[in-house]
């Protein structure tokens, strides 16, 4: 049973480059996207006892997300969010993960975004 108020690690608005979009012409060059993650680590902050090896390596998570985004062309930011969640959950000591991907494509909007939440399987 997990704590009702979990300890969370937040990575906000990580800038990534990705070839993404439904129309072919949109996928001719990488686009800037912003990715935000909410990570519930396997251990509470108190249980980490101030030991770096007990927490999630934020820098490694960011590098993983950037690599996933740059790895291959996609049509949907929904697919990218799923790919990021799968990669991060498979690599780091995480209980639950939320991923938000923001795209800057529609002129009448600040951005469009998708958000998913996934528990470790």
Distance separating alpha carbons of residues 54 and 77, to the nearest angstrom: 32
* Mean pLDDT for the stretch of residues 103-107: 94
Nearest of 40, 36, 38 to residue 100 by alpha carbon: 36
Query: What pLDDT digit, counting tens, does each position of 57-75 carry?
Result: 999 999 999 999 999 999 9
User: What does the pLDDT look like over 1-23, one tens digit per residue?
Assistant: 455 678 999 999 999 999 999 99
Has residue 98 been placed in a domain? yes
Give dist(CA 93, CA 120) in Å, integer. 9
Residue 1 lies in a domain: no
Residue 93 pLDDT grade (very low, low, confident, very high; cuts 50, 70, 90): confident
In a domain, 121, yes or no: no
- Residue 48 belongs to a domain with what CATH number? 3.30.1130.10
Q: What is the spatial distance between Cα 48 and Cα 50, in angstroms, rounded to a whole number? A: 5
> Domain tally for the chain?
1
Closest CA to 2 of 36, 41, 54, 51: 41
Domain that holds residue 40: 9-22+34-113
| Contacts with 56 (C-beta within 8 Å, 6 or more apart), sequence order | 9, 39, 41, 92, 93, 94
- Whether residue 73 is contained in a domain is answered as yes
């Amino acid at each position: 049973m997990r704590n009702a108020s979990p300890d969370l690690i937040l990575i906000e608005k990580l800038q990534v480059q990705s070839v993404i979009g439904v129309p072919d012409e949109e996928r001719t060059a990488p686009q800037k996207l912003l990715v935000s993650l909410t990570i519930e680590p396997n251990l509470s902050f108190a249980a980490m006892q101030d030991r770096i090896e007990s927490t999630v390596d934020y820098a490694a998570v960011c590098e993983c997300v950037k690599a996933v985004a740059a790895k291959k062309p996609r049509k949907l930011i929904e697919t990218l969010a799923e790919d990021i969640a799968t990669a991060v959950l498979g690599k780091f000591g995480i209980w639950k993960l939320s991923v938000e991907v923001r795209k800057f494509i529609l002129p009448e909007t600040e951005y469009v975004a998708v958000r998913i939440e996934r528990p470790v399987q």
